[in-house]
């Protein structure tokens, strides 16, 4: 057996200005044999595909892997280019492959395509035939509808957020597809949508009641041997698309009614728990959050974690400005995006003092720049292999990077959008979390795996940015009626 391997992924924040273009996807893109070599052994969906294929003695042929994290909608040119590349790669292998394993995020959109993941699969089906076997591994934050199911043989989504199970999700998708290709199973899929949108900040799967819904999904899999796999997708609330919101996808062996029954049951549970899933009371204003952090720090044994979670471009300045104004010291704000300031620090050199207008520049929602006078502690290019529990082993290139000390407030400045979610943002600069009183992150759930044990307290702060907890502040145009909490109270 021989399978083609591909990936094309973006978590599209459709409200962001601009588009995510080809250069953004090209950063870190892999092609051909480099997909196989570069991702073998990594904690990624494709790493999981490759692991199972190797164990099952299935040959693999790499086509393309291009992803751009979470950013503005993909440009039409980027969509056309990467879909054409994947389709051309498959057509060139016509008659020599048995199927495709592909990693899609599930929240891909372009300005004109609001079901873009389904469109990717549709283009593959149009070229290779509707019966061409395709196994898909997706992100828990995918916005799925029936259209995606129509073009896939099997779909498996991450069970966890933080996504520590990227590779095991790829393994599930690979095993499902290989078993079907060997004639051991006849997979059928069902989807049910509870009509519920969750801000990313509330999608941590270890927190109740979401953890309970995930346990129920595992219980269905254990109880019913004809159920092969269940994915509970939390959806991505910042993509304004008709399929926005949670979805349950069930893969069953030849029993569509059973698949539908399990999907409906889990979707109904989520629907009933919608007010508990949407925990508005956990979110604080900038002033109240900073006030509480300063008060807690007086007696804290460990750092206080401030989460400026609504920031989607890693450069908003609301909490940083408030901490400066309140005279906070021993602060670390890792991986803030400002290529101009990183370049200025590199020009000045390590040991120099620079005065800069820092960050807050990506959009009017980012809070505007903060004037900083800071000593350059490090200046150079940062390329390293991720050591944290997500995407473990993958290489990341942050471009021109600097570590600044603005009077007890340390900031690492990067030129590539990258979220600080593990210890790499400390280790790369010889820093230690325990030496700080405050750590200012922009993560939603992924930080929890590493930071929950490191932190004295986690303070969630809402800012008037592109990823707020209060979804009703966003100008949705494409969400259908009846979706909690935006089009239904
Ligand atoms: Zn995700």
Number of domains in the chain: 2
pLDDT tens digits for 435-475?
999 999 999 989 999 999 999 999 999 998 989 998 988 99
Whether residue 190 sits in one domain with residue 334? no
> Per residue, what are the HEC states of 434-448?
HHCCEEEECCCCCCH
Ligand 1: distance of its center to the CA of 364 in Å? Answer: 25
Domain assignment present for residue 211? The answer is yes
Q: Which of 241, 259, 277 is the last residue of a domain?
A: 277
Ligand 1: distance of its center to the CA of 227 in Å? Answer: 24
H or E stretch covering 100:
strand 99-104
Ligand 1: distance of its center to the CA of 382 in Å? Answer: 24
Ligand 1: distance of its center to the CA of 38 in Å? Answer: 22
- Enumerate the β-bridge partners of residue 248: 192, 232
Helix (H, G, I), strand (E, B) or coil at 219: helix
Q: Shortest CA distance to 444 belongs to which of 223, 205, 214, 255?
A: 205
Ligand 1: distance of its center to the CA of 217 in Å? Answer: 19
Ligand 1: distance of its center to the CA of 375 in Å? Answer: 36
**Pairing mode, strands 30-31 and 59-72:** antiparallel
Beta carbons of 427 and 385 less than 8 angstroms apart: no
Ligand 1: distance of its center to the CA of 328 in Å? Answer: 32
Ligand 1: distance of its center to the CA of 475 in Å? Answer: 22
Q: Could you write out the DSSP letters of every residue in 56-84?
A: TT-EEEEEEEEEEEEEEPBPHHHHHHHHH
Ligand 1: distance of its center to the CA of 202 in Å? Answer: 12
**What strands lie across the sheet with 370-385, from one edge to the other?**
283-284, 457-461, 304-307, 438-441, 331-337, 409-414, 395-405, 370-385, 353-358
Domain assignment present for residue 466? The answer is no
Where do the H-state alpha helices sit in 93-193? Answer: 116-128, 146-150, 166-181
Q: What's the gap between Cα 177 and its chain centre?
A: 24
Q: Which of 218, 246, 277 is the last residue of a domain?
A: 277
Q: Which residues fall within 8 angstroms of residue 24, CB to CB, at 6 or more apart?
A: 68, 71, 78
Residue 425 has pLDDT above 80, yes or no: yes
Ligand 1: distance of its center to the CA of 201 in Å? Answer: 11
Whether residue 346 sits in one domain with residue 225? no
Domain assignment present for residue 475? The answer is no
Ligand 1: distance of its center to the CA of 247 in Å? Answer: 14
Beta carbons of 154 and 120 less than 8 angstroms apart: no
**What strands lie across the sheet with 2-13, from one edge to the other?**
30-31, 59-72, 2-13, 99-104, 134-138, 154-157
Ligand 1: distance of its center to the CA of 244 in Å? Answer: 14
Whether residue 378 sits in one domain with residue 338? yes
Whether residue 15 sits in one domain with residue 148? yes
Domain assignment present for residue 405? The answer is yes
Give the whole-angstrom CA distance, residue 315 versus residue 484: 30
Ligand 1: distance of its center to the CA of 10 in Å? Answer: 10
CA distances from 291 to 284, 285, 328, 382, 464 (A): 10, 10, 11, 34, 18
Domain of 177? 2-277
Q: Give the pLDDT score at 17.
A: 87
Percent of the chain with pLDDT over 90: 95
Ligand 1: distance of its center to the CA of 108 in Å? Answer: 12
pLDDT tens digits for 227-236?
999 999 999 9
Ligand 1: distance of its center to the CA of 248 in Å? Answer: 15
Ligand 1: distance of its center to the CA of 140 in Å? Answer: 5
Domain assignment present for residue 130? The answer is yes
pTM, two decimal places: 0.91
Instruction: Taking residues 177-205, report their average pLDDT.
Output: 97
- Enumerate the β-bridge partners of residue 216: none
Whether residue 252 sits in one domain with residue 310? no
pLDDT tens digits for 81-111?
999 999 999 999 999 999 999 999 999 999 9
Whether residue 173 sits in one domain with residue 255? yes
Residues listed for the chain: 489
Q: pLDDT class for 143, splitting at 50, 70, 90?
A: very high
Whether residue 300 sits in one domain with residue 167? no
Residue 121 has pLDDT above 80, yes or no: yes
Whether residue 394 sits in one domain with residue 272? no
Whether residue 193 sits in one domain with residue 63? yes
Q: Which residue has the tokens 């570590």?
A: 403
Ligand 1: distance of its center to the CA of 48 in Å? Answer: 17
Q: Shortest CA distance to 74 belongs to which of 43, 38, 113, 124?
A: 113
**What strands lie across the sheet with 247-253, from one edge to the other?**
187-192, 247-253, 227-233
* End-to-end Cα distance, the chain: 51
Give the whole-angstrom CA distance, residue 241 versus residue 481: 12
Q: Give the pLDDT score at 169.
A: 98
Ligand 1: distance of its center to the CA of 107 in Å? Answer: 9
Ligand 1: distance of its center to the CA of 351 in Å? Answer: 39
Whether residue 233 sits in one domain with residue 90? yes
Q: Which residues fall within 8 angstroms of residue 441, CB to CB, at 6 or more apart?
A: 305, 306, 307, 308, 334, 419, 420, 421, 447, 451
Ligand 1: distance of its center to the CA of 169 in Å? Answer: 13
Whether residue 267 sits in one domain with residue 315? no
Ligand 1: distance of its center to the CA of 139 in Å? Answer: 5
Q: Shortest CA distance to 145 belongs to which of 487, 484, 486, 480?
A: 480
Domain assignment present for residue 106? The answer is yes
Domain assignment present for residue 485? The answer is no
Beta carbons of 468 and 365 less than 8 angstroms apart: no
Residue 489 has pLDDT above 70, yes or no: no
Q: pLDDT class for 306, splitting at 50, 70, 90?
A: very high
Ligand 1: distance of its center to the CA of 309 in Å? Answer: 14
State the maximum Cα–Cα separation within the chain, in Å, rounded to a whole number. Answer: 68
Give the whole-angstrom CA distance, residue 465 versus residue 30: 32
Percent of the chain with pLDDT over 70: 100
Ligand 1: distance of its center to the CA of 478 in Å? Answer: 21
Cα angle for residues 29, 30, 36 (degrees, 5° grid) = 145
Ligand 1: distance of its center to the CA of 303 in Å? Answer: 26
φ, ψ (nearest 5 deg) of residue 129: 100, 145
The two three-digit tokens of residue 257, written as one number: 């009614």
Whether residue 435 sits in one domain with residue 345? yes
Domain assignment present for residue 402? The answer is yes
Ligand 1: distance of its center to the CA of 6 in Å? Answer: 18
Ligand 1: distance of its center to the CA of 233 in Å? Answer: 9
The two three-digit tokens of residue 151, written as one number: 């073009």
Residue 393 has pLDDT above 90, yes or no: yes
Q: Shortest CA distance to 233 belongs to which of 257, 254, 213?
A: 213
């Amino acid at each position: 057996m021989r399978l083609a391997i591909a990936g094309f992924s973006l978590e599209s924040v459709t409200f962001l200005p601009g588009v995510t273009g080809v250069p953004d996807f090209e950063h870190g893109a892999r092609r051909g044999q480099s997909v196989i070599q570069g991702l073998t052994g990594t904690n990624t969906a494709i790493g999981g595909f490759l692991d199972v294929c190797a164990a099952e003695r299935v040959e693999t042929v790499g086509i393309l892997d291009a992803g751009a994290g979470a950013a503005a909608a993909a440009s039409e040119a980027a969509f056309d280019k990467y879909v054409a590349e994947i389709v051309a790669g498959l057509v060139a292998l016509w008659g020599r492959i048995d199927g495709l394993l592909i990693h899609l995020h599930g929240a891909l959109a372009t300005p004109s395509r609001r079901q873009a993941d389904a469109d990717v699969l549709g283009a593959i089906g149009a070229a290779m035939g509707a019966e061409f076997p395709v196994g898909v591994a997706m992100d828990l934050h995918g916005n799925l509808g029936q259209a995606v199911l129509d073009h896939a043989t099997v779909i498996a989504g991450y069970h966890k957020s933080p996504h520590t199970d990227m590779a095991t999700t790829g393994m599930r998708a690979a095993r499902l597809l290989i078993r079907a290709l060997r004639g051991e199973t006849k997979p059928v899929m069902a989807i049910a949508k509870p009509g519920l949108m969750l801000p990313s900040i509330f999608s941590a799967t270890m927190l109740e009641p979401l953890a309970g819904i995930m346990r129920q999904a595992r219980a269905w899999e254990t109880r019913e041997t004809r159920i092969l796999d269940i994915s509970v997708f939390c959806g991505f609330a910042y993509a304004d698309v008709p399929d926005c919101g949670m979805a349950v996808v069930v893969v069953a062996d030849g029993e569509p009614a059973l698949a539908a029954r399990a999907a409906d049951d889990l979707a109904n549970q989520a629907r009933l728990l919608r007010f508990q899933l949407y925990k508005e009371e956990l979110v604080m204003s900038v002033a109240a959050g900073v006030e509480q952090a300063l008060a807690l720090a007086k007696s804290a044994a460990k750092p206080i974690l401030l989460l400026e979670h609504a920031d989607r471009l890693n450069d908003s300045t609301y909490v940083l400005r408030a901490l400066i104004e309140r005279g906070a010291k021993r602060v670390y704000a890792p991986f803030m995006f400002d290529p101009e300031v990183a370049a200025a620090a590199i020009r000045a050199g390590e040991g120099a003092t620079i005065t800069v207008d820092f960050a807050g520049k990506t959009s009017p929602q980012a809070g505007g720049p903060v004037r900083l006078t800071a000593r350059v502690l490090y200046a150079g290019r940062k390329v390293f292999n991720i050591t944290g529990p997500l995407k473990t082993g993958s290489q990341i290139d942050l471009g021109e990077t600097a570590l600044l000390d603005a009077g007890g407030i340390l900031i690492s400045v990067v030129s590539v959008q990258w979220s600080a979610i593990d210890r790499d943002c400390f280790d790369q600069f010889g820093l230690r979390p325990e030496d700080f009183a405050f750590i200012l992150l922009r993560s939603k759930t992924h930080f929890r795996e590493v930071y929950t044990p490191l932190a004295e307290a986690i303070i969630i702060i809402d800012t008037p940015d592109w990823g707020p907890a209060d979804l009703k502040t966003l100008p949705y145009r494409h969400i259908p009626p009846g979706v909690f909490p935006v089009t239904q109270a």
